[in-house]
Every structure is written in C-alpha cells, then in structure tokens.
Amino acid sequence: MKSDTDHLRAGVSTPTVFVVDDDPSVRKSLRRLLTACGYRTRTYGSAQDYLADDHETGTACLVLDVRLPDLSGLDLQKALAEQGSEFPIVFITGHGDIPMSVRAMKSGAIDFLAKPFSEEALLAAIEQALDEHRRRMSQQAELASVRQKLLSLSPRERQVLKHVVAGRLNKQISADLGIAMRTVKMHRASIMEKLQVRTVPDLVRMAERVPRLLDQEGAPGRSTPA
Amino acid sequence: MLTLLAHGGNVCTEDRVRLRQRLVEDSLDEPILRARLRLAELSSSLSLDDFLRATLNEVESLTSSSTGYYAIVQENKATVAVTTQSTNALEHAMASVGFVGVGEPLDGETATKCIEHRRPIVRTGSSRHASELAVPILRNERIVALVVVRGNPGNYTHRDIDLLSLFADLTWDIAERKRAEEALRASETNYREVFDKANDGVLIHDLETGEMLDANQKIFEIYGYTPEEMRKLKISAISANEPPYSQRDAIAWIRKAGREQPQLFEWLARDRNGRLFWVEVSLKRAKIGGVDRLLGIVRDISERKNAENETQRLRETLAHVTRVSTLGELAASLAHELNQPLAAILTNTHAALRVMRSTQTPQEDVEEILADIAADGERAGEIIRRIREPLRRGQLSVEPLNIDDLISDIRTLVRTDALLAGIAVEIEGEPNLPQVTGDRIQIQQVLLNLMMNALDAVRTASPERRRVQVRASSAEQDMVRIEVSDTGPGMPTHTRESIFEPFFTTKPGGLGLGLTICRTLIEAHGGHIYAKDPSPGDGTTLVVLLPADRSTA
C-alpha cells in the first residue's frame, strides 16, 4: 500500500481529488481515506459550493454524488461540460438505477459506483480518472503548440497553407492567388519551416488538428508578425 | 319421347296436337325412333351448339338432304342470322364462298316466305337451285327460328315437312332448356366463386335443426376442418364451449336471429388444433333458393382482439406498477439513506487501516475515526427503527372506504397475473359490512402486498392447490377483518413474528420490507396485522384488522 502512495508524493505535482457529497460523514471519511492515499483532497457539500471555488490547474478529478440538494450530480456534470472543465468524473450513489448510470456514463463519466463501494474500486476509478485527465492535458498542450505555430504564419502564408491543405497544386495556387509560382514555392518552404514539418502529409495532419484556425485568416488582431 | 315432348310448354297448340298424332303414327318408324333416341341421349351430354348440330345431322339424313342450318329470327323480324349449321353445311361453308356461314344474314326466297307466312315452305329443286325446305319454329304465336334443309335429290314430301317440324320443335324445347341450364350453371359458378373467395366465412344453416347445409372455403380455412369433418361437428366443437360461448349460447343466438332481427356478436371459437381465437359472427334469416335459412357470416378478429387484450393488460400493469412503486420508492429511499452511513463506515475503516500502518500519524486520529464509525453505526440503526414509525412522508388522506370496493380493486390488479399463473382467486364478502376510514392508496398497497405474497406462495404449487382466498367480515370491538389466505407451503410457527421484521424475506431477490411497511401502514390507521396460527400444510393466512367507521356501521 505504501509504495503506491510514495510515487504520488514523489511527483512534481500531487494530484487533487475534488469530492462533492451532501452527507458530512461520507465527505469526511472520503477526505481521510484519499488523504491517507496521498492525494490532495478538497471536499464540498453541494454543487454550488464546488462551482463557487477556484480550482488549480494540476492533475485532478471529481468524485461526485448523484443525489445532491438543488443541483444534482448529473446537472453539475452537464454544467461543467458546458464550462469546458477537463476534470474527469467518478460518480458515487446511494441508490443508483440503470437509466441514471447510463446517462452519466454516456456523458463521459469514468465510473459509476454504488455506495457502499470498496476501497479498491474507488481507488481504481480515481486512478483511471487521473490518467484520463493527464491524457487530456497533454493533448491540450499539443494542440496549444500547434495553434501557436499556426499563428506564427503570415496572413499570406496561412492563405497558401489553406490551399495546400485543400489539395491544390502550386500552379493552381499561383493562378488562384494571382502570385508567381516561385512565390508560392517560397511561401511553402517558409510554412514547412515555421511549423517544423518535413512532408506535406504531416502538414495537412497538423492543420487538420485545428481546423477553425485557418478560417480565421485575416480576422482582426489575429495576424502575427511573420 | 313423351317426356321430351312434355318439356315443350305452351307452344302453338294446334301444331302440338298435330305433332303428337304424327308421333303416335310414326312411333313404329324405326329410323325415326333411333334418331330420337340418339337425340335424347345427346341432349344431356352435348353442349347446346353441338346438340343443335347433331339434330341437324339427324334430320339431314332422315330427309335425305345434303345440308341444313338453324336461323334465329329476331323479334322485329328485321334480321335473320344463321346460328347453327349441320356438319355438312359447315364443311360446305368452308369449301364454298357463296354459302351462308354462321352469323351471316340469311337471304333466300324460301326462308323469307317461311317467315312471312309462318308455315313450312318447300322449293322444288331445279338446275339453278337445290331443293329446299324451310320450317318455322313458333313459340307463343311468334316465329323464333327457322330450320332449313336443302339438297334432297328428289323433292321434299309432306312426310319430310312433318318430320322436320317434329324434330325442330322437339330440339328447340331441349335447346331452350339447355340454354336456361347453361345460363344457370354460369351464374351458379359465379356465385360459388364469390361465395368461396369471400374474405369472411359464410355458413348456411337449417333454420329448424341448426344443421349446416353449406359453407364456403373460408370457413374451412378459419376452422381448419375439411367440409366432411365440418358437417359432422356440433357448434360446441368449434367454440370455446364454456359459457358464454357454449352450444347452449350458440343456439340461443341462432333462435334469436331466426325470431328477430339479424344478430352481431363476438364469439370465442376453437379450431381443429384446439387453439382458441376470436370471431365476429353475424346471423341473419335469409331466403336462399326460396327456402328460409339462417345465414351466418364469420370473421376472424383475433388480431383486433389480441390488440385489445394487450391494451387492457398494459393498462392493468401500469396501474399495478403505479401502486407497487409507491412501496418500491419507499424501499429505495430507505436503501439510499442506509447506504450513506454504510459507505462512511467502510471508507473510514479503510482510512483507519492506512493511518495505523503509517508510522508518522498520531494515535488520536485513529480514535477519532473509530468514533465516527460508531456514530454512523448508530445512524444506520436509527434508520431501521424509523421504518416502524408511522410514515413521516406525506399526510394521510383519510376518507370512508368500502371494503368490497377495495378488494375488487385489488382483484382487478392481480387478475391477469392470477389467470396466467392458473391461480383461482376467491373473494368472500359479508352483507352490510361497515366502511373503514383511511388512506385509500395505503390500504390498497397493504392488500396488494398481501395478495402478491399469497400468489407467489402458490405459484409453483400443483394446479389444484393454486388457490388464494380473500375474506372480509366484521370483527369484535368495532373492527373489520380482512383475511388473505393461500394454499401454499405455509411457514413454521417461530417465523410468525419475524415476517414483519425489516429485511426478513423468503423470496430470492426480495427486499424483505413489504410486510414491515404493511404493519407500519396498518398501525398508522389504528389497525393490526398478524399471521394466523398455521395448521400444518394449510398455507398462510394474514389477518388485517381495521377500525370500522362508526358513522356507517
């Protein structure tokens, strides 16, 4: 048992588990157990309390009771999705029914545990949720870097890139944009260099990760110095 | 021959008399007799056209002619068309362009004169013309047709004229009869086809005996019997044969339809494989072939009925679920409440284990956790105890309740279930039973719960031991007693009280809260519920006592 908490403490940042449950006993016991397991634990008595708090950006997940006063766990899940929260959710419930759990899982929940749950099941679900969060974060980081690279292109370069992604030949791009073939080739070389890709397929794949960015071509404040 | 003549009807009387004399005179003329005999035989086996041709062939040979034909005279006499030619004439017509064929207008002196004078006309043969004899056929003073023969090498005699007249008259009679028969057969064929191809089954019964006289193909399809089998069956064999679908009921319907107006009703029928299905029957007195019969139309409505039954079943299930779910909801809410302290206890225990293993943690932390675990244990016990208290959720809506109505409501709810499981539900009431005061839904829940337990207890018993009884009676101290008994395996005496304890159950998957809640509800109404002292092998009887509403006693 000790070994699996040690690696958590040794990490750069200790993962956080947010617990939302209206039962004080359950809340308190969960804080004890999760803290003993080496997680940073924050507990809340209602969905509103959770929403009102500021949450740091490290690795984290939510353990969420389905039955909560006023705003239910499922409602909170929906509200968080709308806010763009990236924290994966593990549901716990006193008396869950199948439609409820199906709804929760379909909305992206990691697991749906019936109270009283075993320690093993809870910790496994939490670890799965944290892994999911790490995966989402690294994906985010990658996307951000792609976005950054794309934003470093000049407006003309982005225009050319759009045509390249659409599968146009240099000759066609030259005709479409009314610029010399030589200029097109020059823009292409510059794009490849700025985006740090070596082949056209890599270029297309990268551009497709952020499809909307190319459409913002010429939007005010978007152009960056080439 | 006489019989053939008798078919003649009221034709020209004068001719008839003369012909009859001739017949007697000629009766010994062997060739004529043979010819008549042949025609008599042919009349039944040949089609009309072939028969007419055969008669022409006979007269042709009897009058030594080479050809002969019949021609129909239209009522206005304006058109005369050849209808039938003798075999010779037919062959001749094919060989010679000049000869009149069937359907062609007839022109010729002999025929024209014959029509004009309404008597036989003979034309003497010459180098230009063959000899010719035309005889009119008269019916009701009207000339309807001609028969013409020609080509006698000599000249036609009076004997030829009589012979042709006699044959023409006879054959026309036969031809008319045949024509009528053929028309009838054609129309019968049509009717039979319509009859057999009808989408509904059609039966024709004797009005007096009820015997089946005829039935269409559809009837045999509906019931699965052959016509022979069907004819021997009584109505009971093709019915559910239980009131109100018995032989007796069927006869009552038939009598009613015979006596009064047409009857339309639904009937539970049975086919050859014993399958029961619904038909709609229309019975009607009708004149068929001039005789008073009973006409029955049978339509298979199984599909419609099944849909109706399904709807009915769903409605009952829904009502059932609505009532049962109130109980289920209560149980679910208890489970939810109970699971909170259980979750906390379990989680705290694991936390304590972890804390104890870790060397740095102070001892006080473990003590605190154990105290919390104890508190949650208390809390769980409290929840269980609360089940016995009168329900806190919602107020009792109190109204006077009629026991008979309550029981019949429950019976309706379990009827389908009981029927399907083959369980007999017997209700025993008492006249002038006082009403009780209480919450209708809650009392219904209790009775339904007891009833479902009773049904479950006998579900797997042998068929004759699948009985559930509900008895209502007045009891001492202004109480009303409702007993729900089953013929199931019963229970040992020592479990008599345990059945009301929470989470006591004998059913796989049961929550063990049904009777606990029943007792809570009944006691909230100032009543009692208990299990009767069981006699061995006598099943289980649960007794509910509720205070009578004195104002209605």
* Cα B58 to Cα B81: distance, rounded to the nearest angstrom: 22
Helical packing angle, B158-197 and B48-62, nearest 10°: 170
pLDDT value for B372: 92
3-state secondary structure of A194: helix
Residue B501, phi then psi, degrees to nearest 5: -70, 145
Residues 318-337, chain B: which have Cβ within 8 Å of A? 332-333, 335-337
Alpha carbons B140 and B154: distance in angstroms, whole number: 34
User: What is the pLDDT, as a whole number, of residue A61?
Assistant: 95
pLDDT at residue B97 in the model: 41
B350 in contact with A, Cβ within 8 Å: yes
- CA-to-CA distance for B30 and B247, rounded, in angstroms? 65
pLDDT at residue B175 is higher than 50: yes
A&B contacts, CB < 8 Å:
75
Give per-residue pLDDT as tens, B258-309: 877 788 888 888 888 888 888 889 888 888 777 888 888 898 888 777 767 7
Residue range(s) occupied by CATH 3.40.50.2300 in chain A: 6-138
Domain with CATH 1.10.10.10 in chain A: 152-216
Q: Which residues of B touch A118 (CB under 8 A)?
A: 346
Read off the pLDDT of each residue in B343-347 and give the average, rounded to a whole number: 94
CB-based contact B341 A25, cutoff 8 Å: yes
Task: Report yes or no: B370 at the A interface, CB cutoff 8 Å.
Answer: no
- Rounded to 10°, the helix A181-195/A119-151 angle is 150
Residue B467 pairs with which residues in a beta bridge? Answer: B424
What is the reported pLDDT for A127? 95
Q: Which residues contact A170 (CB under 8 A, 6 or more apart)?
A: A181, A184, A185, A188
- Give B226's DSSP letter: -
pLDDT at B441 over 60: yes
A37 contact residues in B (CB cutoff 8 A): 354
Task: Say whether B70 sits in a helix, a strand or coil.
Answer: strand
Supply the pLDDT for residue A96.
Answer: 62
Q: What is the CA radius of gyration of chain A?
A: 24
CA B153, CA B130: separation in Å to the nearest integer? 8
pLDDT in tens, B359-396: 776 677 888 899 999 999 988 887 776 655 545 444 56
Query: Å from A94 to nearest chain B CA?
Result: 5
Angle value at C-alpha B283, between B282 and B287, nearest 5 degrees? 130
Read off the amino acid at residue B457.
Answer: A
- Residue B544 above 90 pLDDT? yes
Distances (CA, A) of B357 to A40, B354, B365: 19, 5, 12
Residues of A with Cβ-Cβ distance to B345 under 8 angstroms: 29, 116
CATH class of the structural domain A152-216: mainly alpha
Contacts of A122 in chain B (CB under 8 A): 347
pLDDT digits (tens, 9 = 90+) for B241-253: 877 888 888 888 8
Best of B337, B340, B358 to disrupt the A interface (most A CBs within 10 Å) is B340
Q: Which residue of B has its CA nearest to A24?
A: B344
Q: Helix or strand or coil: residue A17?
A: strand
Contact between B336 and A94 using a beta-carbon 8 Å cutoff: yes
Per-residue pLDDT of chain A (226 residues; tens, 9 = 90+): 444 444 444 445 789 999 999 999 999 999 999 999 999 999 999 999 999 988 877 899 999 998 888 888 889 999 998 888 889 999 998 766 667 777 888 888 899 888 889 999 999 999 999 999 999 889 888 888 888 888 888 888 888 988 888 888 889 999 988 899 999 999 999 998 888 888 888 888 888 777 666 665 443 333 344 3
All residues of chain B having their beta carbon less than 8 Å from the beta carbon of residue A119 are 346-347, 350
Closest chain B residue by Cα to residue A27: B344
Nearest residue in chain B measured CA to CA from A32: B351
Distance of alpha carbon B161 from alpha carbon A100, whole angstroms:
108
Largest Cα–Cα distance of chain A, in whole Å?
74
Residue A44: predicted pLDDT: 95
CB-nearest to A28 from B333, B354, B372 is B372
Measure the CA–CA gap between A199 and A88, rounded to whole angstroms: 36
Distance (Å, rounded) from C-alpha A109 to C-alpha A63? Answer: 10
What is the predicted pLDDT for the residue at B415? 74
What predicted TM-score, i.e. pTM, was given to this entire model?
0.41
> Rounded to the nearest 5°, which phi and psi values hold at B241?
55, 40
A6-138 under CATH 3.90.226.10, yes or no: no
Q: Which residues of A134-171 are buried (b: 16+ CB within 10 A; e: fewer)?
A: eeeeeeeeeeeebeebbeebbebbbbbbebbbeebebe
Res. B413 pLDDT band, cuts 50 70 90: confident
Q: What is the mean pLDDT of chain B?
A: 77
Task: Beginning with the edge strand found earlier in the chain, give each strand of the sheet holding B467-475 in spatial order.
Answer: B424-428, B467-475, B479-486, B541-547, B528-531
* pLDDT given at position B218: 87
For A121, name the nearest residue in chain B, comparing CA atoms only: B347
pLDDT at B456: 85
Secondary structure (H, E, C), B478-513: CEEEEEEEECCCCCCHHHCCHHHCCCCCCCCCCCCC
Mutate: best of B338, B339, B370, B511, partner A, most A CBs <10 A:
B339
Which stretch of DSSP H or E encloses residue A53? none
Residue B56: pLDDT above 70?
A: yes
In chain B the first and final C-alpha atoms are separated, in Å, by 98
* Partner-chain residue, chosen from A94, A114, A117, that has the shortest CB–CB distance to B340: A94
Q: What is the mean pLDDT of residues B456-480?
A: 87
β-bridge partners, B203: B215, B296
> Using one digit for the tens of pLDDT, what is the confidence trace for B60-106?
888 888 888 888 777 666 556 677 777 777 666 554 444 455 555 55
